Amino acid sequence: MDKNTIVGFVLIALVVFGFSIWNKPSEEKLAEQKRLNDSIQNVQRQKLQEELKLQDSLKLQAMDEVVNNFTAVDQSQQFVSANNTTEVVSSEADSVEVAETPVEKTEVAEQIVSLENELLKIEFSTKGAQMKSARLKGYTTYAGDSLYLFNKDALLSLELENKSSIKLNTKNAIFTPIVESDSSVLILRHSFAPSQYIDFIYALQPESYMVKFDVVVVGMKDVLSSTSKEKFLFAWQQDLKRKEKSVQNEQNYSHIYYKFLGQDVEELSSKSNVTESINEPVKWIAFKDQFFASVLIADYSFDISELDSKVLSGETYLKKYGANLYTTPVAENDGSFKVGFRYFLGPLQYSMLKSYDDAAQETVDELDLDKLVPLGWTLFRWINQYFVIPIFNVLNKTGLGMGVIILLLTVIVKLIISPLTYKSYMSSAKMRVLRPQVEEINAKYPKQEQAMERQRATMDLYGRAGASPMSGCLPMLLQMPILIALFAFFPSAIELRQHSFLWAEDLSTYDAIIEWGTSIPLLGNHISLFCLLMTITNVVYTKFNMDMTNTGQQQMPGMKWMMMLMPVIFLFILNDYPSGLTYYYFISTLITILLTLSFRYFIDEEKLLAKLEANKKKVKKKSGFMARLEEAQRIQQQQQKKKNNGKGRR
């Protein structure tokens, strides 16, 4: 985005902001509008009471509440569990009073009802019929506490509108729990009248992180406005609580993700506050952190999605997520309306998430929940999907420690790419044995203005001997996608979480050997030992490799120090990254050094030089690339001569 575009957006934003302030109604106008609305509601209430005066008082109260508000108080507060897997805990709550109606204040008791299986325990509140907490049984936080995806810091409410344009919201409504014979199903019902009610239906199957969630609105077809009949609005909010040791790393991996219907998965930025409105059909919305996620999946789609993500400062909460989701209800034959969802509440384990699409028949049916695991861009993701993860899963099934598994994975990867390492070494070996001849060329053309002749003679030598400076670069470039893929894999592998190795207590986070109170820019408040070992090893390898690949050609000033500085820079970049990643790079560099030493031990450089000398005697047809390179050098040399001649005449 260029400067003019940024300035344009800023000016537009200022105009819109100023216009909104200019047109904001005064306090007097707001008060007058409220008084007018209250008067209209009173007239409507009196008219309705006159029409229904022959009906009993209970019927009158129920219909009055339908017109005015959505916080009806259920008369039945006593509930006895029908099975041993459903718990009910009563607690005091604020009394509810219907304004301006002849209804006495009624004390309402909030109840907590739970569903659970072997993996997950969910507590529901009868106030709002919402999930109050979700605890993953097999996981703990970095501090050893029970791990909750949320605990009194999440909210999902349904907002409707009646024909009088009055909002009907389930946020503070009291629901009655109904437990069916199947202990895995819970119905929370809010009744306006015996034939008018809203059901929130939750079902949790054994050994599953997936919760079925249905909303059914019964007997309100003649009460709801046409807008609410066409679109139900669900407001979903969650404050993301810290679960991992590294606040910065967890913050970087915490996003709102969403999947377009039948298309790809997108995400909001994790670095800043973001608000986005999506007017295309969306299959699911995910509130995600580094290793866990709450995902709301529509049976059909969300027609409009308004997403909001805010970065929170502090040590307890990382993000504040919000979503307003509009979805089209299904009108049943009996006049009721139904909307269906699924909740995924669980860990981001790639193979498990991928299994949810095993039965998908078409692309539009695929959930692509595995995209919640960030494995890199397309090429790197393919490498992780079809190469790294299958090998890792096989090793993981052996029951070995995670440190040993990473070691074996490193060895396998290095063996697979060892032919490329060998080719790179052979290229540098050829350049090294030709070094004396290159130095003779340098002595023959010592002056700066003879640089073109010197370079042309050197390239001619390499061409006749069958050596090429570029042949060593290609194998290194071919290895880069694997290295980058592994850079994305390790921070996202939940299998490493809370597995220790040597001094590292948790391979999914940093292994601090030294810590201090204040944060230093770029370095933080600690030094990770595996990262330090990785840096030292890379400095040694860089020095070793530079000595081996010294061809005798002149280098740019400062190039040597730049090469030595790069490993040190990675100390600052990777210091806060998982120790499993830096442990891998440390072992990988050690293996590379060992392979290089073994190549040097087994390869006879005198025989290699003799082979190159024999190549000089062969008549070789120059490749198109070499011919073009020499022609370019010849033209450049002629231009340089003309330039020098011009200076001499002046």
Render 323-381 in DSSP notation, one character per residue.
EEEEEPPEEPTTS-EEEEEEEEEEE--HHHHHHTTTT--SGGG---GGGGS---SHHHH
CA dihedral 191, 197, 200, 201 (to 10 degrees): 110
Strands (E), 491-537: 512-520, 524-528
Q: Does 62 have pLDDT greater than 70?
A: no
If you average pLDDT over each of 153-157, 425-429, 546-550, which comes out highest? 153-157
Cα(306)–Cα(406) distance, integer angstroms: 42
Which of 186-200, 321-335, 353-367 shows the lowest per-residue confidence on average (mean pLDDT)?
A: 353-367
Please report, for residues 73, 136, 390, 602, 637, the alpha-carbon distance to residue 70 in angstroms, rounded to integers and kept in the order given: 9, 33, 53, 83, 87
- The DSSP element (H or E) to which 486 belongs, if any, is helix 473-492
Task: Please choose, from the candidates 167, 170, 186, the residue with its C-alpha nearest in 3D space to the C-alpha of residue 178.
Answer: 186
If you average pLDDT over each of 200-214, 347-361, 429-443, 508-522, which comes out highest? 200-214
Cα(641)–Cα(639) distance, integer angstroms: 5
Please report, for residues 162, 454, 459, 464, the alpha-carbon distance to residue 626 in angstroms, rounded to integers and kept in the order given: 80, 16, 9, 11
Query: pLDDT grade, residue 625 (50/70/90)?
Result: low
What was the pLDDT predicted at 545?
A: 77
Which of 401-410, 531-540, 549-558 shows the lowest per-residue confidence on average (mean pLDDT)?
A: 549-558
Q: 10 Å Cβ neighbour count for 260?
A: 17
317-338 average pLDDT score: 93
Q: What are phi and psi of 438, to 5 degrees?
A: -65, -40
Residue 314 near residue 287, CB atoms below 8 Å: no
Cα(278)–Cα(304) distance, integer angstroms: 6
Which residues are CB-contacts of 111 (< 8 A; sequence separation ≥ 6)? Answer: 77, 79, 88, 89, 90, 91, 125, 126, 177
Angle value at C-alpha 524, between 501 and 380, nearest 5 degrees: 60
Averaged pLDDT of the chain = 80
pLDDT tens digits along 385-396: 999 999 999 999
CA dihedral 181, 197, 129, 258 (to 10 degrees): 100
> Is 547 or 10 the better-scoring residue by pLDDT?
547
Cα(64)–Cα(47) distance, integer angstroms: 11
What was the pLDDT predicted at 90?
A: 31
Cα(221)–Cα(193) distance, integer angstroms: 14
What is the β-pairing status of strands 317-327 and 265-267? unpaired
Task: Please choose, from the candidates 429, 464, 445, the residue with its C-alpha nearest in 3D space to the C-alpha of residue 550.
Answer: 429
Task: State the distance between the two ends of the chain, measured CA to CA, in whole angstroms.
Answer: 48
Which residues are CB-contacts of 293 (< 8 A; sequence separation ≥ 6)? Answer: 149, 257, 286, 287, 344, 346, 348, 372
95 CB burial (10 A radius; 0-12, 13-18, 19+): exposed
Query: pLDDT grade, residue 31 (50/70/90)?
Result: low
What was the pLDDT predicted at 581?
A: 96
pLDDT tens digits along 560-598: 677 778 888 989 999 999 999 999 999 999 999 998 888
Query: pLDDT grade, residue 213 (50/70/90)?
Result: very high
Task: Please choose, from the candidates 172, 170, 182, the residue with its C-alpha nearest in 3D space to the C-alpha of residue 215.
Answer: 170
499-507 average pLDDT score: 95
> Is 636 or 555 the better-scoring residue by pLDDT?
636
Query: What is the crossing angle of helices 418-433 and 402-416, to 10°?
Result: 50
Per the document, the length of the chain is: 650
Cα(148)–Cα(141) distance, integer angstroms: 9
pLDDT tens digits along 237-274: 999 999 999 998 999 999 999 999 989 999 999 889 99
614-640 average pLDDT score: 65
> Is 12 or 131 the better-scoring residue by pLDDT?
131
Query: pLDDT grade, residue 43 (50/70/90)?
Result: very low
Q: Tokens standing for 3? A: 């400067």
Cα(157)–Cα(74) distance, integer angstroms: 18
Q: What are phi and psi of 402, to 5 degrees?
A: -65, -35
Please report, for residues 37, 71, 72, 99, 101, the alpha-carbon distance to residue 68 in angstroms, rounded to integers and kept in the order given: 12, 9, 10, 9, 10
Task: Please choose, from the candidates 207, 20, 195, the residue with its C-alpha nearest in 3D space to the C-alpha of residue 118.
Answer: 207
Q: Does 535 have pLDDT greater than 90?
A: yes
What was the pLDDT predicted at 602?
A: 86
Q: Tokens standing for 170? A: 């389930």
Residue 216 near residue 199, CB atoms below 8 Å: yes
Query: pLDDT grade, residue 551 (50/70/90)?
Result: low
Which residues are CB-contacts of 283 (< 8 A; sequence separation ≥ 6)? Answer: 259, 260, 261, 262, 297, 298, 301, 302, 367
Residue 188 near residue 200, CB atoms below 8 Å: yes
Task: Please choose, from the candidates 289, 256, 291, the residue with its C-alpha nearest in 3D space to the C-alpha of residue 275.
Answer: 256
What was the pLDDT predicted at 35?
A: 53
Please report, for residues 37, 38, 174, the alpha-carbon distance to residue 166 in angstroms, rounded to integers and kept in the order given: 10, 11, 19
pLDDT tens digits along 591-617: 999 988 888 888 888 888 888 888 777
Residue 615 near residue 464, CB atoms below 8 Å: yes
362 CB burial (10 A radius; 0-12, 13-18, 19+): exposed
Q: Tokens standing for 409? A: 């994975």
Please report, for residues 70, 396, 407, 496, 521, the alpha-carbon distance to residue 404 in angstroms, rounded to integers and kept in the order given: 59, 10, 5, 12, 34
CATH of domain 48-364: 2.70.98
109-113 average pLDDT score: 88
Percent with pLDDT over 70 in the chain: 75
Domain ranges of the chain: 48-364, 379-617
Angle value at C-alpha 449, between 444 and 455, nearest 5 degrees: 55
Cα(540)–Cα(532) distance, integer angstroms: 13
Residue 253 near residue 290, CB atoms below 8 Å: yes
- The DSSP element (H or E) to which 643 belongs, if any, is helix 624-649
Q: Tokens standing for 83? A: 């099975």
